[in-house]
């Protein structure tokens, strides 16, 4: 059968493509390079190969008793809704019943739990380490589908114009808009009017109380997504931003410059304590000694486990690296804390769902005058987005 023959070849292509992927690195560049060096593939071929690979990352890799080809096939027949019967027969190790074709995903997974030495929890590394505030029964199913791409309008007055250019928008009360992954935002002519930013980040930063806040230090700023959302909310605040990576700061400066925002920046490694920081803008330099800020935003380096629904290829992360993140998060917060003014706050935030990086780490912070004002999660499964943890710490 022609269709079956093509599918079998696609499985082989997907296996070749996966074999070129380095664990722990983004998969997209590998896929891109593979398609670039195999120009014979049409768009349908590319879509099938891509789906096979991502279904393996989402589910297949957890079937450790099977060989890789069977892992790939089984994940694909599980996660594809309109599976043709011949595809289920291609899978050899055991028989998938005829009712498989009509089953929901949950029924298929329950069948696999009964039939083979496998448990659903294996699809997420160290599932028992996930926070008890996360409902695992909702969390696991949302790992099997790509979340929406969330963005916000830089200027709310342009909301109608942006909506008119895009269809199938999900719109949240906080102003976040979501669109199916793969929708070409660039070619829709809206790229100048929007900022891509996940719903969960938008929720944390749009609900942050900025009353009385004049000075902010974004101490892990990367290219400045969080500074921008704060500046878009309140242009009157002064933002100093830093990161340990010099290369990423130039993105920050370009990005805030495009918006004509005046910001100060510095390269600062917070693995060790610092006594003063020299921040620079185009016009001036300011030297800040503790305590300098009403609000410190610590958007910390982390496992990224709250985004593994979007990037399932990172699920291979070793628990030893999680331990390293936990220590680094603590060091960064300890180094930043002296710069919080009395009565001021530090926002501790990660895109992790592991309790050790979040509530457990916050619990063991030994900071002078620290009071936890509020903490919690924005759950990706509730919003078709990534997950974010936040804790607002006040200096009393
Ligand atoms: C989660 S990212 C921040 C994302 C950013 N806030 C945004 O909105 O795009 C964490 C950042 O922490 C930085 N970082 C890692 N180790 C650091 C350290 N020791 N001191 C300061 N920054 C560090 C990383 O370079 C990375 O850009």
Q: Is the minimum distance from the CB of 207 to ligand 1 under 6 angstroms?
A: no
Q: What is the pLDDT of residue 82?
A: 85
Give the burial string for 173-185 (b: 16+ CB within 10 Å, else e): eeebbbbeeeeeb
Q: What is the pLDDT of residue 167?
A: 74
Q: Is the minimum distance from the CB of 225 to ligand 1 under 6 angstroms?
A: yes
Q: What is the pLDDT of residue 192?
A: 80
Q: Is the minimum distance from the CB of 312 to ligand 1 under 6 angstroms?
A: no
Query: Along the 396 residues of the chain, how does pLDDT read in single tens digits?
Result: 788 888 999 999 999 999 999 988 999 999 999 999 999 999 999 999 999 999 999 999 999 999 999 999 999 999 998 888 899 999 999 999 999 999 999 999 999 999 999 999 999 999 999 999 999 999 999 999 899 999 988 877 888 888 888 877 888 888 888 888 876 666 677 878 888 899 999 999 989 999 999 999 999 999 999 999 999 888 889 999 999 999 999 999 998 988 889 899 999 999 999 999 999 998 899 999 999 999 999 999 999 999 999 999 999 767 778 999 999 999 999 999 999 999 999 999 999 999 999 999 999 999 999 999 999 999 999 999 999 999 999 999
Q: Is the minimum distance from the CB of 244 to ligand 1 under 6 angstroms?
A: yes
Preceding peptide of 227 cis, ω within 30°: no
Distance 300 CA to ligand 1 centre (A): 6
Q: What is the pLDDT of residue 333?
A: 98
Please give the DSSP secondary-structure letter assigned to residue 158: G
Q: Is the minimum distance from the CB of 362 to ligand 1 under 6 angstroms?
A: no
What is the rounded CA–CA span in Å between residue 296 and residue 276?
15
Tokens of 206: 């749009």
What is the rounded CA–CA span in Å between residue 196 and residue 178?
9
**pTM summary value:** 0.94
What is the rounded CA–CA span in Å between residue 279 and residue 276?
10
Q: Tell me if 194 sits within 8 A of 162, measured CB to CB.
A: yes
CA of 197, closest atom in ligand 1? 8
- Kindly report the number of other CB atoms within 10 A of residue 254's CB atom: 11
Place of tokens 């006594």: 275
What is the rounded CA–CA span in Å between residue 136 and residue 267?
39
Distance 242 CA to ligand 1 centre (A): 8
């Amino acid at each position: 059968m022609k269709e079956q023959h093509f599918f079998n070849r696609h499985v082989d292509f997907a296996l070749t493509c996966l074999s070129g992927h380095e664990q722990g690195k983004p998969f997209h560049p590998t896929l891109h390079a593979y398609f670039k060096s195999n120009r014979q593939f049409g768009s349908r071929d590319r879509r099938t190969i891509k789906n096979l690979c991502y279904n393996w990352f989402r589910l297949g890799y957890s079937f450790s008793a099977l060989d890789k080809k069977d892992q790939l096939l089984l994940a694909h027949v599980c996660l594809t809704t309109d599976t043709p019967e011949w595809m289920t027969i291609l899978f050899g190790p055991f028989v998938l019943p005829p009712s498989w074709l009509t089953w929901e995903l949950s029924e298929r997974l329950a069948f696999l739990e009964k039939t083979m030495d496998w448990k659903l929890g294996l699809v997420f590394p160290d599932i028992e380490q996930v926070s008890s505030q996360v409902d695992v029964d909702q969390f696991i199913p949302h790992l099997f589908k790509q979340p929406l791409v969330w963005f916000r309008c830089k200027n709310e007055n342009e909301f109608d114009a942006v909506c008119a250019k895009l269809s199938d928008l999900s719109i949240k009360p906080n102003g976040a808009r979501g669109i199916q992954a793969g929708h070409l935002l660039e070619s829709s002519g809206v790229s100048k009017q929007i900022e891509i930013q996940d719903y969960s980040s938008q929720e944390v930063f749009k609900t942050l109380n900025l009353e009385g806040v004049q000075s902010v230090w974004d101490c892990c700023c990367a290219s400045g997504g969080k500074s921008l959302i704060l500046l878009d909310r309140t242009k009157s605040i002064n933002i100093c931003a830093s990161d340990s990576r010099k290369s990423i700061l130039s993105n920050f400066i370009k990005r805030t410059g495009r918006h004509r925002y005046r910001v100060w920046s510095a390269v600062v490694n917070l693995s060790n304590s610092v006594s003063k920081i020299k921040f620079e803008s185009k016009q001036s330099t300011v030297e800040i000694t503790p305590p300098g800020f009403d609000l410190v935003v610590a958007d910390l380096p982390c496992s990224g486990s709250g985004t593994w629904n979007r990037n399932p290829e990172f699920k291979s992360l070793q628990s030893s690296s999680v331990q390293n993140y936990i220590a680094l998060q603590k060091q960064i917060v300890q180094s930043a804390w002296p710069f919080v003014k009395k009565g001021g706050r530090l926002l501790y935030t990660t895109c992790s769902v592991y309790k050790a990086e979040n509530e457990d780490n916050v619990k063991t912070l030994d900071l002078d005058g620290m009071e936890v004002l509020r903490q919690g999660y924005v759950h990706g499964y509730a919003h078709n987005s990534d997950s974010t943890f936040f804790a607002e710490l006040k200096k009393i």
